[in-house]
Amino acid sequence: DQQVKQNSPSLSVQEGRISILNCDYTNSMFDYFLWYKKYPAEGPTFLISISSIKDKNEDGRFTVFLNKSAKHLSLHIVPSQPGDSAVYFCAAGPGRSGGSNYKLTFGKGTLLTVNP
Amino acid sequence: EPEVTQTPSHQVTQMGQEVILRCVPISNHLYFYWYRQILGQKVEFLVSFYNNEISEKSEIFDDQFSVERPDGSNFTLKIRSTKLEDSAMYFCATAVGLGLSSYEQYFGPGTRLTVT
């Protein structure tokens, strides 16, 4: 059951360049999408989110893009910094009409390595 | 900055034993969750808890699992008779409970449960 897919297990970029992390989903009931960052031995940390009524949300160096027709979202990090090296999880939640209690469905994660 | 705390950080138990994992949520948060991550796999939803009752649970959350908030502060996950396949990292998450921001869940550092 892979309702949220992150097809790239890892990504390596140079410091200062753009990192683009991708995520696809299959469940059309998903209405809210989030990116979490996770360092080893820590819990996931909320990074940025987007509602399905928007196609872009920006917060500092982080921008999330949503293409609802393609069921695809991406996280752009510009410029990338070595401290951004972590596992990035895409997560999704159905709207209230989906009977949700805000539970999140996660992808498997992408390990981002930013090289100095 | 307020944070979710979890104890213990690591629990080793024998198969068939009961374990209780504890979480202290952020004080003004109203929604509570347990997720788990088996090594190498994705983070999976177990249960959500609101207004002192379970609001949703996954197929994983069978009769061996229970949750409660016994004293209004701690939020616990009990596994009555552990199995080898229960070995995983268990994350507690909490959310403030105001509309869509309830998706923006704050995770604790996790408890690593090892069943031998």
Span A95-113, pLDDT tens digits = 665 445 688 999 999 999 9
Rounded CA-CA distance A86/A37 in Å is 6
- C-alpha dist (Å) from residue A16 to A19, A51, B50, B89, B108: 9, 28, 43, 33, 31
pLDDT confidence of residue A98: 46
Would you state the pLDDT for residue A67? 96
Question: Per residue in A73-82, pLDDT tens?
Answer: 999 999 999 9
Q: What is the pLDDT of residue A40?
A: 87
DSSP code for B3: -
B93 interfacial to chain A (CB closer than 8 Å):
yes
Q: What is the pLDDT of residue A101?
A: 67
What are the chain A neighbours of B45 within 8 Å (beta carbons)?
A: 103-105
What gap in Å lies between CA B82 and CA A82, rounded to an integer? 40
Q: In what order do the strands lie in the sheet with B65-68?
A: B5-7, B19-24, B75-79, B65-68
The confidence band for B103, taking pLDDT boundaries of 50, 70 and 90, is confident
Tell me which residue of A92, A36, A35 sits closest to A64, measured CA to CA.
A35
Distance from C-alpha of B95 to C-alpha of B28, rounded to nearest angstrom = 9
Q: Measure CB to CB from residue A32 to each of B35, B103, B106 and give the nearest one.
A: B103
Is B23 in CB contact (< 8 Å) with chain A?
no
B57-93 residue pLDDT tens: 999 999 999 999 988 789 999 999 999 999 999 999 9
pLDDT digits (tens, 9 = 90+) for A27-66: 888 989 999 999 988 899 999 999 999 999 999 999 999 9
**What is the structure's pLDDT at A96?**
61
Mean pLDDT of chain B: 92
- C-alpha–C-alpha distance, residues A100 and A25, integer Å: 17
CA distance A25 to A77: 21
Residues A75 and A110: beta-carbon distance below 8 Å: no
Of the two residues B1 and B19, the one the predictor is more confident about is B19
Is A42 within 8 Å of chain B by CB?
yes
Beta-strand pair A56-59/A62-67: antiparallel
